[in-house]
């Protein structure tokens, strides 16, 4: 559709119409027929603009235009089908953009010394995927911190071309320079923006846990993006439990386990997924570091740290989803057939990572299998 190409060039409503909309309803897109006419008559896409009068005659609201059935209704009114499809699609895009604006700012703080770009991946491709994953949290801005930003001119240019703000943090013989600057700027952002603004941190450094926990308690949407490598440690679990949402650096941002793995091109540094269907699957343990099972292990560990008996499976399932609502849509999960918590838990058991059992109806439990490591 032409509409997709015009997304960032949209000027959905005139200044007068937008102010009317905001006065009617600040947090959702509910436009009356007049608002819809103003939106269509000033739209940059000709297929929408030339049918503004028809929309006015039909007295269509924004909710009607969001209904897929509106396409056939517009065709019956004499609108060409491709134009009717564009009108419907553009209203959906306008609604998505409006909703993002209403969420407020979402600032990404990327500790690039702690979570580095993998070799062979361009900064632009990683930033593009990052934006795609976090745009649901609001109007996204990305700041990147590290001494390497100033040392690598090509990296700095790629980051700037991607719309990021690169903050050079030279050490000059001192430690934790980037960490201290990130903490200061995060608190400054929180001071200038009220909840529920979003604070998104890319790091594996547990020193940020206290700050993130306090910000979460004060109503901020706190999001952690981190590698799975150290998340099964005590500090890693503490860091993960300090935020509202979690995204995997490997699976969500780098998309490892998807097409590249399917074609036998696992990226450098990628952790191999266990063959949990093979005869030796039970030999796998938490020491194996399999990133695909980090979510379920973290959820169980979090419940085990609370008072009570063995973690119930229903509780663990809820905790996994609350950490990442789209976990079963990940390419690595889909490729392995892990489309439900039941299948996920059974795969973890086959890998020798968890034990499943029951104490009666409604009392199905799950617990980690802790093995000694060298």
pTM score over 0.75: no
Rounded to 5 degrees, φ, ψ at 287 are -70, -20
109: tokens are: 């703080």
For the CA atoms of 171, 176, 180, 181, what is the dihedral angle to 10 degrees? Answer: 40
Domain 271-374, second-level architecture: Orthogonal Bundle (1.10)
Rounded distance, CA 95 to CA 30, Å? Answer: 9
pLDDT band with cut points at 50, 70 and 90 for residue 276: very low
**Which is it for strands 221-226 and 245-248: parallel, antiparallel or unpaired?**
parallel
What pLDDT, on a 0 to 100 scale, did the predictor assign at position 225? 94
Select, from the ranges 33-47, 176-190, 303-317, the one with the highest average predicted confidence (pLDDT).
176-190
Residue 191: its H or E element = helix 177-192
Which residues fall within 8 angstroms of residue 94, CB to CB, at 6 or more apart?
10, 12, 29, 39
Rounded to 5 degrees, φ, ψ at 351 are -80, 0
Which residues fall within 8 angstroms of residue 285, CB to CB, at 6 or more apart?
352, 353, 369, 371, 373
- Domain spans in the chain, listed from the N-terminal domain onward: 2-102, 104-254, 271-374
- Asked whether residue 15 carries a pLDDT value surpassing 60, the answer given is no
What pLDDT, on a 0 to 100 scale, did the predictor assign at position 239? 87
Q: Please write the tens of the pLDDT for every residue from 20-56.
A: 434 333 445 678 888 889 989 988 888 899 999 999 9
DSSP bridge partners of 178: none
Range 104-254 classified under CATH 3.40.50.1010: yes
Rounded distance, CA 86 to CA 2, Å? Answer: 7
18: tokens are: 């937008």
Is the bond preceding residue 196 a cis peptide, omega within 30 degrees? Answer: yes
Angle between helix axes 123-134 and 153-161 (nearest 10 degrees) is 40
What pLDDT, on a 0 to 100 scale, did the predictor assign at position 193? 92
124: tokens are: 């632009």
- Domain 104-254 and domain 271-374, same fold? Reply is no
Q: What is the mean pLDDT of the chain?
A: 77
Q: Please write the tens of the pLDDT for every residue from 70-108.
A: 999 999 999 998 889 889 888 887 777 766 666 789 999
């Amino acid at each position: 559709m032409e509409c997709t190409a015009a997304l960032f060039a949209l000027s959905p409503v005139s200044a007068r119409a937008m102010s009317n909309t905001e006065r009617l309803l600040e947090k959702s897109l509910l436009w009356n027929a007049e608002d819809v006419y103003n939106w269509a008559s000033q739209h940059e896409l000709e297929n929408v603009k030339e049918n503004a009068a028809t929309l006015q005659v039909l007295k269509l609201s924004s909710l009607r235009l969001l209904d897929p059935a509106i396409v056939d209704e517009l065709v019956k009114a004499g609108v060409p089908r491709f134009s009717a499809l564009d009108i419907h699609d553009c209203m959906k895009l306008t609604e998505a953009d409006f909703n993002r604006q209403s969420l407020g700012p979402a600032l990404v703080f990327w500790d690039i010394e702690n979570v580095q770009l993998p070799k062979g991946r361009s900064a632009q491709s990683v930033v593009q995927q990052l934006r795609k994953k976090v745009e649901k949290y609001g109007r996204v801005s990305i700041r990147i911190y590290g001494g390497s930003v100033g040392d690598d001119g090509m990296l700095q240019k790629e980051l700037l071309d991607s719309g990021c703000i690169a903050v050079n943090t030279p050490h000059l013989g001192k430690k934790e320079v980037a960490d201290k600057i990130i903490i200061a700027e995060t608190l400054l952002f929180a001071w200038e923006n009220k909840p529920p603004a979003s604070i998104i941190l890319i790091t594996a450094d547990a020193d940020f846990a206290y700050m993130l926990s306090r910000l979460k308690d004060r109503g901020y949407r706190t999001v952690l993006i981190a590698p799975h490598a150290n998340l099964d440690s005590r500090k890693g679990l503490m860091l993960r439990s300090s935020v509202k949402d979690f995204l995997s650096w490997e699976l969500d941002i780098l998309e490892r386990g998807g097409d590249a793995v399917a074609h036998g091109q696992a990226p450098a540094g990628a952790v191999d997924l266990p063959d949990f269907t093979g005869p030796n699957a039970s030999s796998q343990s938490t020491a194996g570091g399999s990133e695909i099972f980090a979510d379920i292990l973290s959820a169980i560990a979090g419940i085990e740290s609370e008072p009570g008996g063995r973690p119930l499976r229903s509780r663990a399932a809820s905790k996994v989803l609350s950490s990442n609502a789209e976990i079963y849509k990940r390419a690595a999960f889909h490729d392995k057939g892990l489309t439900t918590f039941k299948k996920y838990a059974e795969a973890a058991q086959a890998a020798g990572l968890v034990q499943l059992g029951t104490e009666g109806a409604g009392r199905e439990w799950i617990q980690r299998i802790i093995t000694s490591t060298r």
